[in-house]
Amino acid sequence: MTGNLQQKPIGLLGGTFDPIHHGHLRLALELYERLNLAEVRLIPSANPPHRESPAVSAELRLEMVRVAIDGLQGVVADGRELMRSGPSYMVDTLKSIREEEGARPVYMILGMDAFMNLHGWHRWDELLNYAHILLVRRPGKLLPMTHVMRGFLDLNRAKTLDELQIRPSGKIYIEDIPPLTISATQIRGLLATDRNPRYLLPRPVLEVINTHQLYR
């Protein structure tokens, strides 16, 4: 199958979003603009299979994503993982998006931290059947990578973005983005110790957190 050049690619950023913060949002917006994407979809994981269950419900995490991007051109929330029961496997999500999108190029956006653990994901070796992987490296960070992931990267790596635009799936491309060293862990830590996380996340997200007394 060849990609449809008439269709701009879409980007997918899956995450726990517990809570969503400016690191996620700058990443999404930066990629939307730089790579001329149709849109970037933020996809909260309902039941993350590879980490402890989040304390905050999937519904509230999706709600925080929605209020964070309200009115923002190019970035949308996609709640499909909340419709499925059981562990939220990315391979199932990519398959359902592929069924909807035909031959449109789809980029699964992954931070390098997530990529290094990819070989632990359910049916990880099928992910490239459904999407490309857009790897986001934060400048200055060197990567100690396992043999398996190094081999996977070398085998599938594209040198130019053009290689991704002409096919629906199957390639890995690395993009450097300006770093924002914000993490959800840091924000939860601040809230748990009664400190103020303002300026790390959008104000409407903080309002949801305060209304529901989350992370205290």
- Positions touching ligand ATP (CB under 6 A) are 13, 15-18, 23-24, 27, 110-111, 113-114, 136, 180, 182-185
The reply to whether omega before 19 is within 30° of 0 (cis) is: yes
Shortest gap between Cβ of 2 and ligand ATP (angstroms)? 28
In the bound complex, what is the minimum distance in angstroms from residue 15's beta carbon to ligand ATP? 3
Backbone angles phi, psi at 134, to 5 degrees: -105, 110
Q: Who contacts 148 (Cβ-Cβ below 8 Å, separation ≥6)? A: 119
For residue 211, which phi and psi values (nearest 5 degrees)? -60, -40
Residue nearest to ligand ATP (CB): 111
| Phi, psi (rounded to 5 degrees) for 122 | -55, 125
Name which of 5 and 33 has its Cβ closer to ligand ATP: 33
Residue with tokens 């917006």: 29
> Of 118 and 164, which CB lies nearer to ligand ATP in the complex structure?
118
> What is the DSSP code string of 185-214?
HHHHHHHHTT---TTSS-HHHHHHHHHTTT
Residue 109 or 164 with smaller CB distance to ligand ATP: 109
Burial of 139-156, coded b for 16+ CB within 10 Å and e otherwise, reads: eeeeeeeeeebeebbeee
Smallest distance from the beta carbon of 215 to ligand ATP, in angstroms? 11
Rank residues 3 and 132 by Cβ distance to ligand ATP and give the closer one. 132
Residue 84 has which token pair? Answer: 């499925």
Q: 71: how many CB neighbours lie within 10 A of its CB?
A: 4
Are the C-beta atoms of 194 and 155 separated by less than 8 Å? no
Query: Whose Cβ is closer to ligand ATP: residue 3's or residue 68's?
Result: 68
* Closest CB 161 distance from ligand ATP, rounded Å: 19
- Nearer to ligand ATP (CB atom), residue 16 or residue 88: 16
